[in-house]
Amino acid sequence: MEKKVTNYASCLNSMPNILVSCRDKEGHDNALAVGYACNCSYDPPMVMVGIVPSRYSYHMIKETGVFVVNLVSEELKKEYEYLGSHSGRDEDKLKKLGMKKGEGVKVNAPILLDCPVSIECTIVDSIKTGSHEMFVGKVEYIHAKEELIDEYGSVDYSKINFIKF
């Protein structure tokens, strides 16, 4: 079969659908949908999230140097879409959606209690790639709903009904 050239942007499939929650230095909380995200180190555990500098969350993450990656299940589709299309610059999105927040154990940022898994991260590096700045976050603590944890203490990802598009 013949192959033809295509557009280049976002050429890897599939992107994870996560919510990154964050806090600014005045204590305001926010969250945004992020597709540019991946594991980037097994030992020590690290993840990477890409944030466009024009996002309101960008300055919050830069200020505090921490963020939380929240995995998103299908039941949170409405919230995911809202947080990915409205800005914390204009309103308190989490309050408007009635989303429940908890406190990070290791980082000064909110965790989203409705999400099945929340991963607290401290920024250890960042790379300005082009459209995004990729923040490398050392995993400091993981909160997982009890029913998702297997006998080895790991998250059983097959039990999460991940959001689909």
> What track of x and - describes contact with ligand FMN for positions 43 through 82 (by CB under 6 A)?
-------xxx--xxx-------------------------
Q: Which of 128, 161, 165, 108 is nearest to 48 (CA)?
A: 128
Nearer to ligand FMN, 32 or 160 (CB): 32
Based on the shown chain and the rule CB under 6 A, indicate whether residue 16 belongs to the binding site for ligand FMN. no
* Min CB(120)–ligand FMN separation in Å: 19
Taking the C-alpha atoms of residue 105 and residue 89, their distance in angstroms, rounded to an integer, is 26
Based on the shown chain and the rule CB under 6 A, indicate whether residue 129 belongs to the binding site for ligand FMN. no
* Min CB(43)–ligand FMN separation in Å: 25
User: Which residue of 23, 24, 34, 126 would you call a contact of ligand FMN, by CB under 6 A?
Assistant: 34
User: Which residue of 21, 23, 24, 36 would you call a contact of ligand FMN, by CB under 6 A?
Assistant: 36
Interface with ligand FMN (CB under 6 A): 30, 32-36, 50-52, 55-57, 84-89, 132
